[in-house]
Amino acid sequence: MDWIIALVIFSISYIFIITEKLNRALIACLGGVLMLFVGVLDLDNAFFSHIDWHTIVLLLSMMILVSITSQSGFFEYIAISLAKMVQGKPIPLLIVISSLTAFGSALLNNVTTVLLIVPIVITLTRLLNISAIPYLLSTILASNIGGTATLIGDPPNLMIGQAVEHLTFNDFLVHLGPIVVVIYIVIMFGVCMLYKKQLKVSLEDQQGLMKINPKQYIKQRALLFKSVSVLFITTVGFIGQPFLNVELTSVAMAGALLLMLLTHEEKETEEVFQMVEWVTLFFFVGLFMLVGGLKEVGIIDEIAKSIIYYTEGDVPKTSMLILWSSGILSGFVDNIPFVAAMIPVILEFQDYGMTNLDPLWWALALGACLGGNGTLIGASSNVIVAGLAMKAKQPFTYMDFLKVGAPTAIVSFVISSVYLYFRYLIFFP
């Protein structure tokens, strides 16, 4: 009986999360609390076994780092400078914005990056008197592709990295970075061909952009120096984490606390905490509790058995199944709750004789992250961009995005399938 109750709570919560009728953090937390009230979970078990506090604290630390850095005007300065570098030409500008988004999504995270990039896109397109929609759509695509490359770039990767102890920041970069570069080049070529004839900028508008001095966006030079320095040191710490023998979360915490200490005169601690995306953090807390309820009643175990039964424990077949199923499903539901449900499923495979699970982890990461491009509700960054676009009176519809996102996702899955097969599976015993 418990499994029916848990499944009903999870399913209803999921439906509300997908439809975005109510705040999804509120729904996720409410679902988690219901798991407690009906006895599927107890409080100690939920807090100490199912909520991944490493992921929560790592996200919190990165939010603090990026929030303080953004107050210096650093990101606006970079964007204006790059726009002037291409003289305001629309297609080169599209490539520059997308590349900046992809790079930022890999080093920071895609949710935070789009929050920083979209206001810049709106400003630049207004200055050039052109539609922001092509730039906003390409920003979404680039954020999900770029975020796939690193452990901290996309929430699914972060969750996988925290669940699998031996996978480091460098592992994600080495194993996913090369294919992400290939996919990004292919997709951006297609996007540029799609919008080549639509984007035209007058000479007068180009000249107006060229007159802007990017230095005017630098608000506090002392804050700029401190924040960029600490952000750089933290990133180096991520890369050197295997040699430092310190947890990734500890590196992020140290960076956040150091920056708060160094900038307490410019930004008070209370002000910094107000800039944190608490809604996202509470969404994760509720989500971990919801998935924990499924795990407690044995549903996760049954899913693992079903996949093993279907693929007969064959790692290449299982990898491809996970890649495509996670990719397609992540297009229709947010990839965060899907990955939260899949992680314990893959971990269960160890109990059924699979020893090397790494190809499965890379398949899940590629499918979930790249699948986020499939539809407008496929990833958190997509929904955030759509909301900011509507606020700026540059709205686009679900179908507008689907026409670009769905082909992007399919092409990405095909390229990823070839990559997985030839790098990990062709000689797999």
- Domain parsing of the chain, residue ranges: 2-425
The helix/strand count (H/E) of the chain reads as 22, 0
- Mean pLDDT confidence for 99-121: 84
User: What is the identity of the amino acid at 153?
Assistant: G
pLDDT the model gives residue 186: 97
Contact between 52 and 344 under an 8 Å Cβ cutoff? The reply is no
Is the pLDDT at 409 greater than 90? The verdict is yes
Tokens of 63: 């939010």
- Mean pLDDT confidence for 337-344: 78
State the Cα–Cα distance between residues 414 and 14, nearest whole angstrom.
28
The residues near 119 (Cβ < 8 Å, ≥ 6 apart) are: 388
DSSP run (H or E) holding 142: helix 133-147
Contact between 396 and 137 under an 8 Å Cβ cutoff? The reply is yes
State the Cα–Cα distance between residues 404 and 378, nearest whole angstrom.
13
User: What's the N-to-C CA distance of the chain in angstroms?
Assistant: 41
pLDDT the model gives residue 416: 96
Q: Output the average pLDDT for the chain.
A: 85
Contact between 137 and 198 under an 8 Å Cβ cutoff? The reply is no
pLDDT the model gives residue 268: 86
- Three-state SS for 243? helix
Is the pLDDT at 109 greater than 70? The verdict is yes
pLDDT the model gives residue 411: 96
User: What is the identity of the amino acid at 306?
Assistant: S
- Three-state SS for 373? coil
pLDDT in tens, 44-102: 888 887 787 887 888 788 888 878 888 888 877 877 888 888 888 889 999 999 998 99
Tokens of 149: 């490359």
Proportion of the chain above pLDDT 90, given as a percent = 27
Higher pLDDT, 146 or 153: 146
Angle (CA) 18-24-27 rounded to 5° is: 105
Contact between 360 and 315 under an 8 Å Cβ cutoff? The reply is yes
State the Cα–Cα distance between residues 167 and 164, nearest whole angstrom.
6
Sign of the CA dihedral running 154, 157, 161, 163? positive
- Mean pLDDT confidence for 320-327: 90
Is the pLDDT at 195 greater than 70? The verdict is yes
pLDDT the model gives residue 173: 93
Is the pLDDT at 242 greater than 70? The verdict is no
Q: What's the pTM?
A: 0.77
State the Cα–Cα distance between residues 94 and 132, nearest whole angstrom.
10
Find the radius of gyration of the CA atoms of the chain.
Answer: 22
Task: Please choose, from the candidates 260, 256, 265, 276, the residue with its C-alpha nearest in 3D space to the C-alpha of residue 220.
Answer: 265
The residues near 151 (Cβ < 8 Å, ≥ 6 apart) are: 157, 158, 161, 167, 168, 169, 171, 172, 173, 238, 248
pLDDT the model gives residue 251: 86
Strand intervals (E) in 182-256 = none
Q: Which of the residue ranges 283-292, 321-330, 365-374 has the most confident prediction, judged by mean pLDDT?
A: 365-374
State the Cα–Cα distance between residues 337 and 83, nearest whole angstrom.
37
- Three-state SS for 356? coil
Is the pLDDT at 236 greater than 90? The verdict is no
User: What is the identity of the amino acid at 129?
Assistant: N
Contact between 249 and 58 under an 8 Å Cβ cutoff? The reply is yes
Q: Extract long-range pairs of 82-87: CB within 8 Å, 24+ residues apart.
A: 83/124, 83/209, 84/209, 84/210, 84/212, 84/214, 87/206, 87/210
pLDDT the model gives residue 304: 66
pLDDT the model gives residue 16: 83
- Three-state SS for 81? helix
Higher pLDDT, 160 or 56: 160
| Burial grade of 339 (CB within 10 A; 0-12, 13-18, 19 or more) | buried
State the Cα–Cα distance between residues 239 and 234, nearest whole angstrom.
9
pLDDT the model gives residue 429: 61
